[in-house]
Amino acid sequence: MWICTKDHEQEESGGTSRVDHASPNYIKEVFDKYVKYEEVKKWLTKDDDGNKIHEGLFAYHKDDTEFGPLDDLSQPDCGATEIYLWSEEDDDWEVV
């Protein structure tokens, strides 16, 4: 389950923001528990040119995969082609 917290694409173009857009199975109360117990990961999507598209938070819930934000939001919305997860260990984004 995931939620978008930053929309780089629309901030630049002035279009309709996707902030707070969430996965079809998003349930705020359930997601908040993942956040409380620090079981979420930050995600970032980019296009072919390396431009940032969307950022948000992801939690493994049931059959979710890391590709949900890319497949459900960023690719159909803006043509994003890559998704990254934040690595606390490396203090950097890692491509999935």
Domain residue spans of the chain: 2-79
Is the overall model pTM greater than 0.85, yes or no?
A: yes
Phi/psi at 45 (nearest 5 deg)?
Answer: -115, 150
Fill in the DSSP letter of residue 74: I
Place of tokens 């960023």: 74
Q: Are 73 and 18 in contact (CB under 8 A)?
A: yes
Q: What is the pLDDT of residues 21-48, one digit of tens each?
A: 999 999 999 999 999 998 999 999 999 9
Residue 74 · residue 45 · CB < 8 Å: yes
Q: Kindly indicate the confidence band of residue 80, based on its pLDDT and cuts at 50, 70 and 90.
A: very high
